[in-house]
Amino acid sequence: MGTQAIDLVILDLDNGGVEAALVAGELKRLRPNVQVIMLVTDRESLVEGALDSADAVLLRSEVGVKLLEALQALPLAS
């Protein structure tokens, strides 16, 4: 994450969401204004705290329908 602006990151959670949760937490630490959308299969199978850094959470099965709505709802930097 050099000097280029990052407005939004979409993370696809897998294997309990541990790695994606670490990535999201580090993104928020380095760039608190970056928006994070997490894609999940089933919220119950995630490790505790996996979604703490998410600005929006979408089920993978609903991505086609809900992703545009989620993007429009997030305040992106200009």
Residues 6+ apart with CB under 8 A from 49: 21
Q: How wide is the angle at C-alpha 33 spanned by C-alphas 20 and 29, nearest 5°?
A: 55
Give strand pairing partners of 36: 9
Task: Label residue 29 left, alpha or beta by phi (over 0 means left) and psi (-120 to 50 means alpha).
Answer: alpha
Q: Whole-prediction pTM value?
A: 0.73
The pLDDT, as a whole number, for residue 42 is 65
Host H or E run for residue 22: helix 18-30
What are the tokens at 18?
């541990």
Residue pLDDT, tens place only, 32-73: 888 888 888 865 577 777 778 888 888 888 877 787 787 788
